[in-house]
A and B are shown apart, each in its own frame.
Chain A
Amino acid sequence: MSGTGGGGNGNGSGPRKRIVAVEAYCIGCRLCEINCLVKRSRSRKILKAFRRERDAVVPGIRVEESGHVSFALQCRHCDDAPCIAACITGAMHRDPATGAVVCDESRCAGCWSCVMVCAVGAVRPGKKRKVASKCDLCMGEEMPVCVAGCPNEALRYEER
């Protein structure tokens, strides 16, 4: 289809692989957060990343918990993504290959307009670096690490 090139396209409707969280299976172990942290860390080693980089890296997934109810939440990669609409730099864009909404950190100005418009709270301000932090579906990986490491199949990666 013509006209979808050039980046920045706000609409990515149509079936594509998405991460699905199953509230009933989530045991609130937060391994998904840890695995995401490790994936984004410099060391890529679970203990080092957890000990030394926890305050510098913002995981792209977050477990919310209340009593026995919990679920893991990350960017929904919305079809009509408000973060792309609100981005003042063009950094937030849809990856044409995967359909994922991703932030080009080299362009991001850290204005947090994306944070302002994300109704699921899944785009978050970076801690050490002034760039937006969010799930990128583990660009280039067969299976996102949060899904691969979930011990109770509470996260699935499937075409929707």
Chain B
Amino acid sequence: MKNDRVRYLVVGNSTAAIGAVEAIRRLDPSGTIRLLSREPHHVYSRPLIPMLLEPDVDLHRLDLRPRDFYEAHGVDKHLGLAAERLDPRERTVWTREGPVPFETLLLACGGKPFRPAEVGGLDACGVFSFTGWDDAVNIRSALETSKVSQAVVVGGGLIGIKAAEALRARGIEVTLVELADRVLPLALDARGSRMAAAAIRKAGVELLCGTTATCIEAPGGRASAVRLRNGACLPCGLVVMAIGVAPNADLAAGTDIRVDRGIVVDDRCETSVKGIYAAGDVAQGTDALTGASRPIPIFPNAFWQGTTAGTCMAGGEPRPAAAFAMNAVEVFGLPTISVGLATASGEGTEVLTAEDEAGTSYKRIVLRGNRVVGALFVGDVDRAGIYTGLIRDRVDVGTVKPLLTTDEFGLLRLPQQYRKHLVLGEGIEA
């Protein structure tokens, strides 16, 4: 690697990094972009790693961008070369191959699986995370080399459910354990979660809520059972720990860059050190709905933050972004979409719900004042994005409230001004 100062240095090679590279190249066709990635893989989609457990998987299905992506975007890529140390004052990142001085830097180093210190046996053979390529490949080879008939997945969030699905599809008996009183507790309310639980159980997965793992039994260093807080002991040959992801802010720790739970960024995704940006699961920005500073580790947010950071790094003006929680999760065939404060209730909150007669679909719209702040769809997710738009743009829906959960609701019901904002110039003439 040459030692001259690179115009753009990107640490990371996932959603946020890709968003940044594409944004930089829209504004600057020629400035050097160097990209360092700890993982050796071509940019892949993390949400698609369950595919790696499918028989005869075509590995190219996981490519988030075509194979010629780096070349087409003029990226000097170094896959499998980790950034080991960062000196913001020297404006230099060190790798095992030497220093990389930079003009601007994007930290897009993602998250790391949360490992609860109080749970014993996490280092045993047969205990896995499920957030990256290697996790899935390691699980696959464990399944192929040893006879695993039972597995325990700890954590009933998105990642745990995807792990349970992938294992169940291979015919393994799976027990899913969730500490909260319901699955997907952050995304679904009690009603929605009951529908998800029914889908999980219908697929033959044992679901245990309200308890968690205290210890993994591993005589001889190999996981053989998971002991639960409620006293139960679940024999198994494989354990997936999926109780959450924390920002991987190690590079910034101990530097001038402000780190709280994640690397703290402003609305331009710039850190406390000028010219150094952070985006994606590693970053901690402002939640547009609550005003709280917190990581929002979801796919679209990573891409948008990457776009914002890349735009700023290249000297452009980013479009105002509104970051808030949103998840589209299919639970054993049951589609769900949860946006904003979808589970909120209590004082100052108005909740509208609707479900169809067969009990196969359920909607929950959460309002504060005359504005939608949360929306939940289970079973039927068609046109859910209209509500995402209402939340993002803080649209006054006072006049159409009674229609919000009905099939008659659509763009036509919205204030004409908003409708124009969405489509005029590119669409409807009034």
Contacts and interface: CB of A to CB of B under 8 A. Distances in A.
Interface stretch (A31-39, A40-48, A72-80, A136-144): A72-80
Contact of B328 (A69, A113, A160): A113
A125 B330 contact: no
B326 A116 contact: yes
A127 to B, nearest CB: 10
Contact of B48 (A109, A117, A119): A109
Given A6-B69, A116-B339, A111 B328 contact: yes
Contacts of B133: none
A129 interface: no
B61 A107 contact: yes
Nearest to A74: B427
B381 A5 contact: no
Interface in A14-69: 18-24, 64-66, 69
B1 interface: no
A107 B426 CA distance: 28
A118 to B, nearest CB: 4
A10 interface: yes
Contacts of A6: 65-66, 68-69, 71-73
Q: How large is the interface on B (under 10, 10 to 19, 20 to 34, 35 or more residues)?
A: 35 or more
B65 A90 contact: yes
B240 interface: no
Contacts of B68: 5-6
B337 A112 contact: yes
Given A66-B413, A89-B64, A160 B426 contact: yes
Contact of A85 (B30, B300, B335, B427): B300
B389 interface: yes
B130 to A, nearest CB: 15
B66 A7 contact: yes
A97 interface: no
Nearest to A11: B26
A86 interface: yes
A88 B45 contact: yes
A8 B299 CA distance: 15
Contact of B326 (A5, A69, A117): A117
Contacts of A115: 328, 337, 381-385
A132 B339 CA distance: 19
B285 interface: no
A116 B385 contact: yes
Contacts of A70: 412
B160 to A, nearest CB: 17
A73 B427 CA distance: 8
B98 interface: no
A23 B299 CA distance: 36
Nearest to A6: B72
Given A69-B412, A78-B426, A90-B65, A1 B45 contact: no
Nearest to A107: B61
Nearest to B418: A119
B48 A116 contact: no
Given A6-B69, A89-B45, A89-B48, A71 B428 contact: yes
Contacts of B18: 8
B15 to A, nearest CB: 8
Nearest to B412: A64
A19 B300 CA distance: 27
B298 to A, nearest CB: 9
Given A116-B326, A117-B326, A20 B427 contact: yes
Nearest to A64: B412
B74 interface: yes
A147 to B, nearest CB: 13
A140 to B, nearest CB: 21
Nearest to B60: A107
A73 B18 CA distance: 31
26 contacts: A3-B74, A5-B68, A6-B72, A6-B73, A8-B22, A10-B19, A11-B22, A11-B26, A20-B429, A21-B429, A65-B412, A66-B408, A66-B413, A77-B426, A82-B300, A113-B300, A116-B337, A116-B384, A116-B385, A117-B300, A117-B326, A119-B393, A120-B389, A121-B383, A121-B386, A160-B426
Interface of B: 18-19, 22-23, 25-26, 29-30, 45, 47-48, 61, 63-66, 68-69, 71-74, 299-300, 303-304, 307, 319, 326-330, 335, 337, 339, 381-386, 388-390, 392-393, 408, 410-413, 422-423, 425-430
Given A8-B66, A119-B385, 19 more contacts: A3-B26, A3-B72, A3-B73, A6-B65, A6-B66, A10-B22, A20-B429, A22-B429, A23-B428, A64-B411, A73-B427, A76-B426, A86-B300, A90-B65, A112-B337, A116-B326, A119-B393, A124-B382, A124-B383
